[in-house]
Chain A
Amino acid sequence: MAAVQETIDTVGTLQTDKYKYGFVTDIESDRAPKGLNEDTVRYISAAKGEPQWLLDWRLEAFRRWKEMHEPNWAKLRYPTIDFQDAYYYSAPRRKPKLNSLDEVDPDLLATYAKLGIPLGEQKLLANVAVDAVFDSVSVVTTFKEKLGEAGVIFCSFSEAVREHPELVRKYLGTVVPASDNFYATLNSAVFSDGSFVYIPPGVRCPMELSTYFRINAAETGQFERTLIIADRDSYVSYLEGCTAPQRDENQLHAAVVELVALDNAEIKYSTVQNWYPGDETGKGGIYNFVTKRGDCRGAHSKISWTQVETGSAITWKYPSCILRGDNSVGEFYSIAIANNYQQADTGTKMIHLGRNTRSRIVSKGISAGYAQNTYRGLVSVHPKAEGARNFTQCDSLLIGGHCGAHTVPYIESRNPTAKLEHEATTSKISEDQLFYATSRGIPAEEAIALIVNGFCRDVLQQLPMEFAVEAQKLVGISLEGSVG
Chain B
Amino acid sequence: MLEIRNLHVEVGGKEILKGLTLSIPAGEVHAIMGPNGSGKSTLSYTLAGRDGYVVTSGDILYQGESIIGLLPEQRAAKGVFLALQYPIEIPGVTTMTFLRTALNAQRKARGEQLMDAAQFLRLVRAKGKTLNVNDEMLRRPLNAGFSGGEKKRAEILQMALFEPKFAVLDETDSGLDIDALKLVAEGVNALRGPDRAMLVITHYQRLLDYIVPDHVHVLAGGRIIKSGGRELALELEKSGYDDIIKAAA
Binding site for B on A (CB under 8 A): 2-3, 6, 427, 430-433, 435-444, 446, 450-451, 453-457
> CA A446 – CA B97 in complex, angstroms?
13
> Is the pair B101, A442 in contact by a Cβ cutoff of 8 Å?
yes
Chain A residues near B48 (CB, 8 Å)? 435, 439
In the complex, the answer to whether A2 meets B90 with C-beta atoms within 8 Å is no
List the B side residues contacting A455 at CB < 8 Å: 91-92
- From A6, A427, A446, B105 is in contact (CB under 8 Å) with A446
Interface residue? B49 (CB, 8 A): yes
CB distance from B52 to the nearest CB of A (A): 5
Determine the distance from Cα of A446 to Cα of B103 in the docked complex, in whole angstroms: 13
Closest to B77 in A: A441
- The residue among A2, A442, A455 with the most chain B CB atoms within 10 A of its own CB is A442
> Out of B49, B72, B93, B158, which one reaches A451, CB within 8 Å?
B93
Interface size class of B (residues with CB under 8 A): 20 to 34
Residue-wise, chain B 6-18 has the 8 Å CB interface mask toward A (1 for contact) of 0000000000000
A436-B90, A451-B90 as given contacts; A441 in contact with B141, CB under 8 Å: no
Bound-state CA distance A436–B73 (Å) is: 10
User: Nearest Cβ distance between residue A465 and chain B, in whole angstroms?
Assistant: 16
16 extra interface residue pairs, beta carbon distance < 8 Å, beyond A439-B73, A440-B158, A441-B162: A3-B50, A427-B91, A433-B90, A436-B88, A437-B90, A437-B98, A438-B71, A438-B72, A439-B48, A439-B49, A440-B98, A442-B102, A444-B73, A446-B105, A453-B93, A455-B91
Instruction: For residue A414, give the distance in angstroms from its CB to the closest CB of chain B.
Output: 36
With A439-B82, A441-B73, A450-B97 given, is the CB distance from A3 to B51 under 8 Å? yes
Q: Is B232 an interface residue (CB 8 A)?
A: no
Point out the residues of chain B lying under 8 angstroms from A456, CB to CB.
92
Which B positions have Cβ atoms within 8 angstroms of A? 48-52, 71-73, 75-77, 82, 84, 87-94, 97-98, 101-103, 105-106, 109, 141, 158, 162
Q: Which residues of A contact B49 (CB under 8 A)?
A: 439
Contact B90 A454 (CB under 8 A): yes
- Determine if A3 and B52 form an interchain contact, defined as CB atoms under 8 angstroms apart: yes
Roughly how many angstroms separate A3 CA and B52 CA in the complex, as a whole number? 7
The answer to whether A441 touches B90, judged by C-beta atoms less than 8 angstroms apart, is: no
Alpha-carbon separation in the docked complex, A6 to B49 (Å): 14
Q: What's the nearest-Cβ distance from chain B to residue A15, in Å? A: 18
Point out which of B49, B91, B92, B98 has the most chain A C-beta atoms below 10 A from its C-beta: B92
B92–A457 touching, CB < 8 Å: yes
- CA of A441 to CA of B74 in the docked complex: distance in angstroms? 7
CA distance A196 to B141 in the complex (A): 42
Bound CA–CA A437/B84 (angstroms): 12
Which residues of the partner chain B approach A6 to less than 8 Å between Cβ atoms?
51
Q: Chain B's nearest CB lies how many Å from the CB of A392? A: 19
